[in-house]
Chain A
Amino acid sequence: MDSPIDVEDCLRRWKQGDESAAEELILHLHPVISRIVRTHLPRRDHEDDVIQEILMKTFSRLHQYKGDAPMSHWVSRLALTTCLDRLRAQKIRPEVRWTDLTPEESTAFDAAWLGSSTPDATEAIHARDVVDKLLSTLAPADRSLILQVDLEGHSLEEIAQTTGWGISKIKMRLFRVRAQLRKMIQNMEKR
Chain B
Amino acid sequence: MMNSENYAQTDEKWQALLARSTPTFAGDTAPPYGFVTSTLARLKAEKGERDMLERIGLRALFASLAILVAVVGVSIGMQIQDRMDFDPAVKSLLQADDIPIS
Contacts and interface: CB of A to CB of B under 8 A. Distances in A.
Are A and B interaction partners?
A: yes
Interface of A: 19, 22-23, 26-27, 30-39, 43, 48, 51-52, 55-56, 59-60, 108-109, 111-113, 115, 119, 121, 123-125, 127-128, 130-131, 134, 150-151, 178, 181-182, 185-186
Closest 7 CB pairs of A and B: A35-B27, A34-B27, A128-B21, A127-B20, A112-B16, A127-B21, A128-B24
A60 B39 contact: no
Contacts, number: 111
Given A30-B30, A38-B24, A112 B17 contact: yes
B43 A38 contact: no
In this complex, the interface size class of chain B, counting residues with CB under 8 Å from chain A, is: 20 to 34
Contacts of B17: 108-109, 112, 127, 130-131, 134
A42 B11 CA distance: 21
A51 B46 CA distance: 16
5 contacts: A19-B40, A125-B24, A127-B20, A150-B15, A181-B14
